[in-house]
Amino acid sequence: MKLATYRDGTADGCLHIVSRDLRRAVPASGIAASLIDALQRWDAVRPALAALYDRLNDGTEALAAAFDPARCAAPLPRSPQWLDGSAFLNHGDLMQKAFNQSPIPQFETVPVMYQGASDDFLGPHDDVPLPSEADGIDFEGEFGVVVGPVPMAATPEQAAAALRLVVQINDWSLRTLGAHEVRTGFGFLQAKPSTAFAPVAVTPDELGEAWRDHRVQMPLHIDWNGARFGEPHGGQMNFSFADLVAHGARTRRLSAGTIVGSGTVSNRERSAGSACIAERRVIEIIDQGAPTTGFMAFGDRVRMQAKFEDGRDGPFGVIDQRVVKAG
Amino acid sequence: MKLATYRDGTADGCLHIVSRDLRRAVPASGIAASLIDALQRWDAVRPALAALYDRLNDGTEALAAAFDPARCAAPLPRSPQWLDGSAFLNHGDLMQKAFNQSPIPQFETVPVMYQGASDDFLGPHDDVPLPSEADGIDFEGEFGVVVGPVPMAATPEQAAAALRLVVQINDWSLRTLGAHEVRTGFGFLQAKPSTAFAPVAVTPDELGEAWRDHRVQMPLHIDWNGARFGEPHGGQMNFSFADLVAHGARTRRLSAGTIVGSGTVSNRERSAGSACIAERRVIEIIDQGAPTTGFMAFGDRVRMQAKFEDGRDGPFGVIDQRVVKAG
């Protein structure tokens, strides 16, 4: 099942079901007002949503119209929590190597994760207002999951049972601020402005064979100002989404609608490129002694789209955003 | 004006106005369904809330009943964001000295702040379910503010204009997990389970002379299992709440209802005691070479109450909680 949220002036937007081929959509507001409402009553509303999805795909749904990603907010315009891991250890290894950082303790056995703002997410085509180019504006291509209720101290198996939806994410980052915040030990705050999402959230079955081991087994194609920047593969996650959700729930309950992210997709193979500028820069530092690629300027665009391994377009739609001066 | 939230089965609870002497309360749901609703329409609803407060204090409000803190959730049972600073630098200085940590860069000029979970706050008398005593269970007595909308990159002056309410907080902490998370650079996540709040949120004018320089100029009395643990004074904040809110808004908008905390109250004078066990332990390490005070056990209680400098009870009511084994 594929789900999207059209803006309607409310904080949570209007839930829509999107056809398998991403061409048609129909309001689902007769079943659940919003995606967060649906997630809070998932077992009760899922059959009706699935029936609507079937009618949409069959061409028998009278209210179907063309799917318009430009009308989309993030699938969840706000959510109870947004917890972002860093599950591709190749990325962290490169960062440590370039900056001669002391290794993160238990880096290979305990995920690292920060809590981000979850009250003001960006839609897939929203401009990204930021105060200063000097902050080191960067994108981060990621995958994520949306969960149902997860009890405190859930096992990875319990966490796996709570996985509801898979999403594609651009975790906007400000590297100059982040370099400072990492050194404080308090973690990322100013370094993480509003996060953006591809228009379509999908149930894991939509991924078919590309959902294995609680990982998204797809390359994420990333273009910066129209030039290919990377297409790293999501399968190289060192922790699965079940592991990450269990980590997040260790000492707290997760409310339905909590989003847990993979961290920037990163592959050992240099040919895959990178999902963020910071990683390209650390590779330049390692290879050449200094970075040659700058961060983003106002007016720059980034486009992100997951693809199946056979080259077909992925199920999430496209993130395509422009950075602009705030205020 | 004094405000509290009674549990009513909804996520945001039922807004009540509480009398100046904390003895009487009246539902305000005819004006605003919940405190978050009121904060989203503050200028529109404030006159009616203030009129109700006047009738309650005059004894002319027919629907008034005894105020029952046992029925209270946190004033905001959930909020858009919860951003907690560490604005009493004495606390950080002690932690660094005890553990020979390298100094936090710009520690005296740039606040440190983490983002905590804001979807599942605890009420003033709620038990605190936690998975393991081995995690190093600790309390943290704090003050905080609730803001209206704050634009990205707001100045401290703009932040000051957005301050709506003052609150008293117990920022539950798990020190064993925190020691690891600080070293990762990603900051606190598992170390910060659900945060608790005193029952009454107040407009700054309720503090009278105890609200100066955007600080709460009151001692916070803390008892652990019935024995006085500390009564540090809130006036020694090195950053004001206006500074902290501006720091939080540097690269993001803050939605109405965002809560910004002071971090654990801490004084240079040893006679004031501490607002958390971790600080007493680092003083023991500095003075004696090793800590002698352990962390909390299941069944332990902590009580927190701000007082005016002349000894009168503060306006926030009492936090009195027991730690229990989760599950």
CA A224, CA A280: separation in Å to the nearest integer?
A: 13
Choose the mutation target among A78, A83, A119, A172 for the interface with B, i.e. most B CBs under 10 Å.
A119
In the prediction, which pLDDT does B130 show?
98
Q: Is the pLDDT at A99 greater than 80, yes or no? A: no
Q: Is the pLDDT of residue A149 over 80?
A: yes
Confidence at B87, pLDDT banded by 50, 70, 90: very high
Average pLDDT of the segment spanning B309-318: 97
Q: Rounded to a whole number, what is the distance in Å from the CA of B103 to chain A's nearest CA?
A: 8
**Is the model's pLDDT at A11 over the cut of 80?**
yes
Query: Is B186–A112 a contact, with Cβ atoms under 8 angstroms apart?
Result: yes
Please give the Cα distance from A184 to B105 (Å, whole number). 7
Condensed to tens digits (0 to 9), the pLDDT of residues A31-87 reads 999 999 999 999 999 999 999 999 999 999 999 999 999 999 999 999 999 999 999
pLDDT tens digits, one per residue of B198-241: 999 999 999 999 999 999 999 999 999 999 999 999 999 999 99
Q: Which of A183, A187, A255 sits opposite B119 (nearest CB)?
A: A255
**Nearest of A244, A272, A274, A276 to residue A260 by alpha carbon:** A244
Chain A residue with minimum CA distance to B191: A251
User: For residues B231 and B308, what is the distance between their CA atoms, to the nearest angstrom?
Assistant: 11
Question: So what's the pLDDT on residue B96?
Answer: 83
> How large a percentage of chain A has pLDDT more than 70?
100
A173 bridge partner residues: A138
Residue B72 has pLDDT above 90, yes or no: yes
Q: Mutation target for A interface from B252, B295, B296, B324: give the one with most A CBs within 10 A.
A: B252
A100 has pLDDT over 90: no
Q: What is the pLDDT of residue A235?
A: 96
Tell whether the model's pLDDT for residue B104 goes beyond 90. no
Residue B185: its chain A contacts at CB < 8 A? 104, 112, 182-183, 185, 187
Looking at residue B145, its pLDDT comes to 98
Predicted pLDDT at B195: 98
pLDDT of residue A97: 81
Are residues B160 and B73 in contact, defined by beta-carbon separation less than 8 angstroms? no
Residues in chain A, total:
327
How far apart are the C-alpha atoms of A165 and A194, rounded to whole Å? 20
CB contact under 8 Å between B110 and A86, yes or no, is no
Whether B190 sits inside 8 A of A255 (CB atoms) is no
Beta carbons of B253 and A116 less than 8 Å apart = no
pLDDT of residue A86: 96
Per-residue confidence (pLDDT) for residue A326, from 0 to 100: 95
Q: Which residue of B has its CA nearest to A133?
A: B251
pLDDT at B95: 84
- A113 contacts B115? CB cut-off 8 A: no
| pLDDT of the residue at B257 | 98
* pLDDT band per the 50, 70, 90 thresholds, residue A104: confident
**Out of B80, B193, B327, closest to residue A252 by CB:** B193
- Report the residue from A120, A131, A190 with minimal CB separation from B255: A120
**Is B104 close to A327, i.e. CB distance below 8 A?**
no
Cα–Cα dist B20/A325, whole Å? 46
**Overall average pLDDT of the A198-212 stretch:** 98
User: What is the model's pLDDT at position B308?
Assistant: 98
Q: Could you tell me if A120 lies within 8 Å of chain B, comparing CB atoms?
A: yes
What is the distance between the alpha carbons of residues A139 and A326, in angstroms, rounded to a whole number? Answer: 17
Predicted confidence (pLDDT) at residue A135 exceeds the cutoff of 90? yes
Nearest CB neighbour to A186, from listed B114, B190, B253 = B114
Tell whether B261 is within 8 A of chain A (Cβ).
Answer: no
> In the predicted model, what is the mean pLDDT of residues B18-23?
98
Residues of chain B in contact with residue A256, where contact means CB-CB under 8 angstroms, are: none
Query: Using only C-alpha atoms, what is the Rg of chain B?
Result: 19
Q: B131 and A252 in contact by Cβ < 8 A? A: no
Q: How far is CA A307 from CA A30, A196, B232, in A?
A: 32, 18, 57
| B residues 158-197 closer than 8 Å to A (CB) | 174, 177, 180-194
Q: Work out the average pLDDT over A175-184.
A: 94
Provide the number of CB pairs (under 8 Å) joining chain A to chain B.
141
| A116/B115 touch (CB, cutoff 8 Å), yes or no | yes
pLDDT level of residue B103 (50, 70, 90 thresholds):
confident
User: Which residues contact residue A60 at a Cβ distance below 8 angstroms, ignoring those fewer than 6 apart?
Assistant: none
Residues facing residue A167 across a β-bridge: A144
Instruction: Provide the residue type at A45 as one letter.
Output: V
CA distance A83 to chain B (A): 9
Question: What ipTM was assigned to the predicted interfaces of this complex?
Answer: 0.97
Residue B105, chain A, CB below 8 Å: the answer is: yes
Over residues B66-83, mean pLDDT: 98
Above 80 in pLDDT, residue B98?
no
Task: Residue window 53-82, chain A: list those with CB within 8 Å of chain B.
Answer: 78, 80-81
Closest of A113, A2, A139, A68 to residue B184, by C-alpha = A113
pLDDT level of residue A95 (50, 70, 90 thresholds) = confident
> What does the DSSP 8-state code read for residue A144?
E
The rounded mean pLDDT for chain B is 97
Contact flag B117-A252 (C-beta cutoff 8 Å): yes
Contacts of A239 (CB under 8 A, 6+ apart): A85, A87, A111, A247
Phi, then psi, of A209 in degrees rounded to 5: -70, -15
